[in-house]
Structure 1
Amino acid sequence: MSLLRSARFPAIVLLASAVLALIVANSPIGPSADAVKHAYIGIPGVFELSVGHWVQDGLLAIFFFVVAVELQYELTNGQLNSARKALQPAIAAAGGIIVPIAVFLLFAGGSDAADGWPIPTATDIAFALGVLALFGKGLPSGIRIFLLALAILDDIVGIVFIAVLFTTDVNLGLLAIAAIAVIAFGVLSRALDVRARGLVLALLVILALATWVLVYLSGVHATIAGVALGLAMAQRPALRVRHELEPWVNVIVLPLFAFSAALVPIPMVSPTQLSPAFWGILVALPVGKIVGIAAAGWISLRVANRGATPDLKLLDLVAAGALGGIGFTVSLLLSELAFSDAPLVRDEATLGVLGGSAASIVVAALLVAQRARHYRRVAPAARDQELPAGAPDGQIA
């Protein structure tokens, strides 16, 4: 179980799932796999979704629940529990959102692909932290904390985009009932530490499923149900539930979504025939994120109170920007939503996400490894400077 919870595991499995999906989609069994993805299952005439939508709207709601629990903790007890702590990553996150949008619109502005501007704004927390764990041995903890706060703020923006931009024909009555179910879920979760625990858990599961169905039927994207439930649940039981769900999210939910989203044929056309969405995302993720996060982060170093945030160097911010360019999960979801009515553009946007994220992974691995070597090299020197003359290594006289 410890392997399934490690930072490295999700990154490796996600990448493997996406690569496998591309191989399958471009092989002789590609049409059969696509047919399975678009096959409808459920209760005929009552509630049916395609396999792809069960993964995207159903399983991914569990992932967003886990993200929301972590967000709730960080906002109350963690690295974002005060404006003072959140200032530096918030400024960097703003740069990492605005600049990629601008880069994307340089390619796609004025075209039918312009609706995809939210796609390169996302950062995949699991993937970014996995790359950091693989190549960042020796990095100060402040860099990881900064990246985590940055990615969480990116996720907040992504959640807002999903809730606001991709909501159609909202049924306010159903949404109100869903809100009541969320409130009941939050209140009932406070009773998990008393007797009747099994009954409370059963009722919570029923309320969670009812909330998901109501949100889906209301016209709001169903993953928002997972966000609302994760924020509403009492923190102690929420953290326990997150701990139990984490291995399943890492080994089933995210890989299945990555496989489903990346199950696209590579178009056999010249580069000039590819959609502007492809080029906009391909460049905006690695370049826009690095420039935006590094520049805004550098500004934040001069704005934030000294000692309130990690002491980061400009090259640390560049490495964090490269990690931020790994959009993957949320970017893939935004691609599905932005171009749901244009399958060809959606597929090319998906390839742009995969290509841009892959480029960011390579650049981030090189930069993080370089910064880690730097800190491993300077750490002994800094320690030696702190030792009094003549004192044995590791001992302070």
Structure 2
Amino acid sequence: MPPTPTADSVREGVLRALATVDDPELHRPITDLGMVDGVDVDAEGLVDVRVLLTIAACPMRDTLTREVTAAVGTVEGARGVRVHLGEMTPEQRRGLTEKVRGTTGAAPTIPFNAPGSLTRVYAVASGKGGVGKSSVTVNLAAAMAADGLRVGVLDADVHGFSVPRLLGVTGRPTRVDNMIIPPTGHGVRVISIGMFVPGNEPVAWRGPMLHRALQQFASEVHWGDLDVLLLDLPPGTGDIAISVAQLLPRAEVLVVTTPQVAAAEVAERAGAVAAQTEQRLVGVVENMSWLQLPDGQRMEVFGSGGGARVAQSLSARLGTDVPLLGQVPMDVALREGGDEGLPVVLRAPDSPAAVVLRDLARTLARRPRGLAGRKLGVSVA
């Protein structure tokens, strides 16, 4: 017969099991983050685990309790578990923040500007409102996350924020000292000014405050190690577009338009800002391109050719190839998914709009990263 597990062996097994439990918000093992305050095992195999929360009102406390309980339940000799939740001291929170950021006492910086950053940053822009820019953004994000990428969305449309609704995110960010932990929706980490204002209150800010908000979202939010960060910009060529260029100079611009001439002309101006700010234009997406009728014919509700005209005009203006990356048809499922907080790429993945958006997401995810500003590890003899 195998030997009966001792209290010490059970305790060692519990610690190994707890190392597999990630904090639901920080996505790091709770043992690495210093959140396990102690483990006791009595003679009967009953395990007491003390876990320190970052803040007393941690929104994920129930999730953490369940995952700790499940992990301990796999340990041979553990006859039961009691999880005791406490709160970190200010000193412990500072230590956790420094460990997560990899800095000691330094002011927050924007990680996407670091020379070794491999995160693709896409700023989704439009010339005018109402062209579906936010819907395109959240569906690209959801499609990339469904394909296994680590994705974040920064809702930079401070005055017209809509990303939380479109992604079905109702949770609030958690603040740990000067670090903000964003909530997650459909596997996408999300931050928006809408998470900080009560109800449906408007945000009446001017340039300096808008710049500061964007700076905080880029530097103080703990995004983790992202593959892709998408920014949903406000329409037009105002303060936020300029601030993005200053704060995130590596961001590449994706222009969204509709087929009609009026929208295309304004979209061209939004894309031309990239030339002035020395950002790279990824390409153009034409939204609401047509409506598929029951008999199979296409009704071009907003005309045709706007996306191609924007791409051609920007290519000529910038002296580089700016492709038309996709044409997204009008689709009732796309609108319904936005209303429900379930992006169409997840709600109806085989619908006409979802097929185009998933293909576009994979195209953007596969694009090679540039080498500008990165350390290549090459030395000259």
What TM-score do the two structures reach when normalised by structure 1?
A: 0.24
Higher normalized contact order (CA 8 Å, seq sep 6+, divided by chain length): 1
Q: Which has the higher helix share?
A: 1
Task: Give 1 or 2: higher strand fraction.
Answer: 2
